[in-house]
Amino acid sequence: MSTKPEIEFQEGPAPTELVIKDIVVGDGPEATPGAKVEVHYVGVEFDSGEEFDSSWSRGESITFPLQGLIAGWQEGIPGMKVGGRRQLTIPPELAYGPAGGGHQLSGKTLVFVIDLLDVVVPPEPPVIEPAEGPAPSELVIEDITVGDGAEAQPGSVVDVHYHGVEYDTNQVFDSSFLRGDSVAFPLNRLIPGWQEGIPGMKVGGRRKLTVPPELAYGPAGSGHQLSGKTLVFIIDLLGTK
């Protein structure tokens, strides 16, 4: 599967439901609903056969989390195995919506041929137990796992997975785990609780930070939806530079 595929169209009117056709069945790891996938693909319009997108034409594969894609991909890719090639015929409802939806492909049935090159299943988000007692007034740092890699310094750029909940309600407000993709950013652009709480961590470590409002988004009424709230994060340090 080192060459751009030819797309075979079914005869008759465009289908009203997702049609999945395996051209080649792979024998590698299987894509799951929350996975990040590396693919080569070509996409054409069902009615005209006109190509509208192709990683082959750009000369490089692309990697992305399935949950960020159109519904037809989210439903049609899971179950594929690495090394496989699959054709998806996707009605508008699972693509870019009905005609007039504001996208150039709105109202169109789309056909993709997809080669699955690799799959990365994201780690499960950590469980943060509901807090007991009053919220602390100072930053609390707890090492769950001590890493043995490079140490994060003040001002470092860190690559992390993280999961954040509100102290009082245990409600998740942000999670790279749930998005299926880690994130890298300079510490000096983050809330003070992270700027103080991450340095000293080593790659491979997991740390819990309980961050009072003064080190997060300020007191109630400061204009942020998390103003006045004590926040709890679990952070996995994947890399630092």
Q: What is the mean pLDDT of residues 138-142?
A: 98
For the stretch 84-135, pLDDT in tens is: 999 999 999 999 999 988 899 999 999 999 999 999 877 889 999 999 999 9
Distance (Å, whole) CA 29 – CA 15: 30
For the stretch 40-78, pLDDT in tens is: 999 999 999 999 999 999 999 999 888 889 999 999 999
C-alpha distances out from residue 41 to 4, 38, 56, 226, Å:
8, 10, 7, 40
Tokens linked to 46 = 């069902």
Residue 36: pLDDT over 60: yes
pLDDT reported for residue 44: 96
**Which residues are marked as active site?**
162, 173-174, 191, 217, 233
pLDDT reported for residue 35: 84
C-alpha distances out from residue 93 to 11, 106, 136, Å:
20, 9, 48
Tokens linked to 18 = 């997702």
Tokens linked to 38 = 């590396």
Distance (Å, whole) CA 87 – CA 94: 15
pLDDT reported for residue 1: 57
Question: How far is the first Cα of the chain from the last one, in angstroms, to the nearest whole number?
Answer: 37
- In order of start, what are the domains of the chain with their CATH numbers? 19-120 (3.10.50.40), 140-240 (3.10.50.40)
Does the global pTM surpass 0.75?
no
Q: What is the mean pLDDT of residues 156-166?
A: 97
